[in-house]
Amino acid sequence: MTRPQVRSDIALRKGYHSPQIDVDVRLNTNEAPAAPPEGFDTALHEALDNIAWHRYPDRGATALRTKLAARYDRAVEEVFVANGSNEVLQTIMLTFGGAGRTAAVFEPTYALHAHISKTTGTAVVEGVRRDDFTLDLDEVRRIVETHEPDVLFVCSPNNPTGLVDPPDTVDAVLDIMSGTNGLLVVDEAYGQFSPTSAVGKIADDVPLVVSRTFSKTWSMAAARLGYLLAPAWLVEELEKVVLPYHLDAFKQAAGVAALEFGSAMDERVALIIDERARLLQQMADLPVQTWDSGANFFLFRAAEMGGDELWQALVDRSILVRNCASWPRLDGCLRVTIGTPEENDAFLAALGEILQ
Ligand SMILES: Cc1ncc(COP(=O)(O)O)c(C=O)c1O
List domains and CATH numbers for the chain. 8-36+263-355 (3.90.1150.10), 49-261 (3.40.640.10)
- Expressed in angstroms and rounded, the spacing between residue 76 Cα and the centre of ligand 1 is 23
Candidate from 17-21, 256-260, 269-273, 333-337 with smallest mean pLDDT: 17-21
Q: pLDDT tens for residues 109-161? A: 999 999 999 999 999 999 999 999 999 999 999 999 999 999 999 999 999 99
- Expressed in angstroms and rounded, the spacing between residue 59 Cα and the centre of ligand 1 is 23
pLDDT of residue 2: 86
Mutate to test the pocket of ligand 1, among 18, 213, 246, 247 (most ligand atoms within 8 A of CB): 213
Q: pLDDT tens for residues 300-343? A: 999 999 999 999 999 999 999 999 999 889 999 999 999 999 99
φ, ψ for residue 149, nearest 5 deg: -60, 145
DSSP string covering 43-74: HHHHHHHT--TTS---TT-HHHHHHHHHHHT-
- Expressed in angstroms and rounded, the spacing between residue 335 Cα and the centre of ligand 1 is 15
How far is residue 40's CA from residue 180's CA, in Å, rounded to a whole number? 45
Q: Where are the strands (E) in 262-346, listed by range?
A: 288-290, 297-302, 319-323, 333-337
Pocket of ligand 1 (CB under 6 A): 30, 84-86, 110, 155, 159, 187, 189, 213, 215, 221, 226
pLDDT of residue 8: 86
How far is residue 245's CA from residue 199's CA, in Å, rounded to a whole number? 26
Determine which residue's CA is closest to atom 12 belonging to ligand 1: 189
- Expressed in angstroms and rounded, the spacing between residue 334 Cα and the centre of ligand 1 is 18
